[in-house]
Amino acid sequence: MKATFPLVLAGALLLASAQALAIDDRFNAAKYDKGGFAPVNDEVYARECGSCHFTYMPGMLPERSWHALMTSTEKHFGESLSLKPDAAKHIEAYLAANAADRSPYRGSELILWDLPREAAPTRITMLPLMRQRHVIIRKLMRDTNTPVKTLTNCDACHENASSGSFAYDHILVPGVSKVIRPGGAF
């Protein structure tokens, strides 16, 4: 009986790691059908919002969150967006139509996984999944001299963020990770 325990434990760990890998692959647009998030494909949204920060994919928040953000444009994280009414209406419609709770993409599915139905977070950094997956990065930002100073700059670490892919095998944390390409050396 004692000899089988290590085998059972090893089997359980192997199964758990395979499940974790499968879950992580859902953020990879190249490895999973509809992996990651639908890329931003709206010029007005990209221009108006991307001029100040990373253009978050609409599938990163549920519709109720985008609605909350767009109805408080005068108090957008300490700034007034000063959007023209037509642009604001257009952006809100685009975000709502492509929000996580309407998206067929796997990243959106994961975003909603631990999010209570009534929750309407207005910060992507406050999503349960985001907080879980970035624990180490938050600690590095606090305790080291990494150039990554905020979690809101997705493409600082995620090489393919603008295409909607947040795969683990495409993460490079500046000042922490080292890129090893095929044929490269340590």
pLDDT value at position 55?
93
pLDDT in tens, 89-98: 999 999 999 9
Note whether residue 81 is domain-resident: yes
Q: Which of 46, 25, 20 is nearest to 36 (CA)?
A: 25
Note whether residue 84 is domain-resident: yes
97 SS3 class? helix
Is the separation of the CB atoms in 120 and 64 below 8 Å? yes
Note whether residue 2 is domain-resident: no
Report the predicted TM-score, pTM, of the whole model to 2 decimal places: 0.78
Measured between alpha carbons, how far is 78 from 119 in angstroms, rounded to an integer? Answer: 22
pLDDT in tens, 114-128: 899 999 999 998 899
- In single-letter form, the type of residue at position 55 comes to T
Note whether residue 8 is domain-resident: no
Q: By residue range, what is the domain housing residue 144?
A: 18-170
Counting every residue, how long is the chain? 186
- As separate numbers, helices (DSSP H) first and strands (DSSP E) second, the chain gives 7, 0
| Total structural domains within the chain | 1
pLDDT value at position 24?
63
Q: Which residues of the chain have pLDDT under 70?
A: 1-24, 178-186
Note whether residue 28 is domain-resident: yes
DSSP 15: H
pLDDT value at position 52?
85
pLDDT value at position 97?
98
pLDDT value at position 86?
95
Q: What distance, in Å, lies between the first and last C-alpha atoms of the chain?
A: 43
pLDDT value at position 118?
92
Note whether residue 184 is domain-resident: no
Note whether residue 74 is domain-resident: yes
Note whether residue 183 is domain-resident: no
